[in-house]
Structures are given as C-alpha cells and as structure tokens.
C-alpha cells in the first residue's frame, strides 16, 4: 500500500511540474487577437488570416453544423453587420486538454461576456459566452462559440417588433 501511495504521489508531482505547453501562451495571444478584431471590425481579412485553411468551426446557433473558412467569414460578417460597440470581456483564459489524457495540449478556452449595441434598434445587450480554439501550425484549426444566440436574437427582434406595432 505504501508503495502504491508513493507511486501516486510521484506521478502527481511529475504531472503538476509539467505545467502548460509553451504554445498555450502564444495560442492565447492569437485567440485574444481574434476576438479583439471581431469586436473592432478593423480588419476583416486579419481575422480570417488567423484561421487554418482546413478550419472546422461550430457556430453558436441551434441545429448548426461545423463550417469551413469561407462560411466562418460569412458568419463573422453577419454578426458585425448587426452589432456595434461590441466588446468581449474575458473572465478567464484556460488551457484545453486532450480528452484521452486530461493533459494540456496548447488549445485555449475562455468564459466571458459579450456586450454591444444592436445596429438596427440601438438597444444595448449582454450575453455570457464560452469559446474554444484548437490550433495547428499556429493557426486556429477548430473551435466553437457557445452562448444563447437564439435568445439574444429573439430579445433584439422583440424590440424591432414593438417599434413596428407602435
């Protein structure tokens, strides 16, 4: 029993001392840049340049399936065309792990809050979100957006419908 406990203690010490992969810091910078560019709408092409050609992205909407780079660009543009003063405030930046081992793999995760103004109505909004980014060759190869987009759209459309009926 003592031998088993000793082996477990040593294993725990080794796994804790390994720390994060060096690419985690670099990939976090890329994820932050992607969100900053999306919010600022400053350089649309710069956002796409952060994506691997073979990217597979999970959009936020119910029933959606993974999309490639071209569709991802359309997805981002649609959000930008409908929103102004957009800002992502991160609660944290977390390392992703390999599902099989639980060991950090350089991928990035973040919980945070998006806020902004609906272009059509001027109505301010805020929504909690979770995002994932996986990397290949320093570029985003896969990931996804997770928040109540349908609820947000319905909330903003209520405002439009109220204005139409008045």
The per-residue pLDDT for range 47-56, each reduced to its tens digit, is 999 999 999 9
Q: Residue 7: is its pLDDT beyond 60?
A: no
Cβ atoms within 10 Å of 93's Cβ, excluding its own? 17
Q: Residue 131: is its pLDDT beyond 90?
A: yes
Q: What percent of the chain has pLDDT over 90?
A: 67
Distance (Å, rounded) from C-alpha 77 to C-alpha 41?
9
Distance (Å, rounded) from C-alpha 43 to C-alpha 6?
55
Distance (Å, rounded) from C-alpha 79 to C-alpha 38?
9
Q: Residue 161: is its pLDDT beyond 90?
A: no
3-class SS string, 52-84: EEEEEEECCCCCCCCECHHHHHHHHHHHHHHEE
Q: Give the pLDDT confidence of 84-118 residue by residue, as tens digits.
A: 999 999 999 999 999 899 999 999 999 999 999 99
Which band of pLDDT confidence, cut at 50, 70 and 90, is reported for residue 160?
Answer: low
Q: Residue 2: is its pLDDT beyond 70?
A: no
Structural domains in the chain, sorted by start: 22-165 (3.10.450.50)
* For residues 51-66, average pLDDT: 95
Which band of pLDDT confidence, cut at 50, 70 and 90, is reported for residue 16?
Answer: very low
Cα–Cα–Cα angle for 153, 127, 129, rounded to 5 degrees: 110
Q: What is the DSSP letter of 147?
A: S
* For residues 69-83, average pLDDT: 91
Average pLDDT value for the chain: 86
Q: Which helix (H) or strand (E) holds 47?
A: helix 44-48
Q: What is the pLDDT of residue 116?
A: 95
Residue ranges with strand state E in the chain: 51-58, 83-90, 94-97, 104-118, 124-136, 139-146
* For residues 18-38, average pLDDT: 92
Token pair listed for 84: 């102004």
Q: What is the pLDDT of residue 18?
A: 60
Burial 14-29 (b: 16+ CB within 10 A, else e): eeeeeeeeebbeebbe
């Amino acid at each position: 029993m003592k031998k088993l406990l000793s082996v477990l203690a040593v294993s725990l010490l080794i796994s804790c001392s390994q720390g994060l992969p060096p690419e985690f810091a670099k990939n976090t910078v890329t994820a932050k840049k992607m969100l900053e560019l999306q919010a600022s709408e400053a350089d649309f092409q710069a956002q796409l340049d952060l994506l691997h050609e073979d990217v597979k992205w999970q959009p936020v909407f119910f029933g959606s399936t993974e999309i490639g780079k071209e569709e991802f660009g359309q997805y981002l543009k649609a959000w930008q065309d409908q929103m102004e003063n957009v800002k992502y405030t991160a609660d944290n930046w977390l390392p992703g792990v390999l599902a099989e081992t639980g060991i950090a793999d350089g991928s990035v995760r973040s919980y945070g809050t998006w806020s902004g103004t609906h272009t059509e109505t001027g109505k301010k909004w805020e929504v909690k979100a979770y995002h994932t980014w996986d990397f290949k060759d320093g570029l985003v190869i896969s990931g996804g957006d997770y928040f109540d987009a349908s609820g947000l759209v319905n909330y903003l459309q209520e405002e439009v419908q109220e204005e139409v009926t008045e």
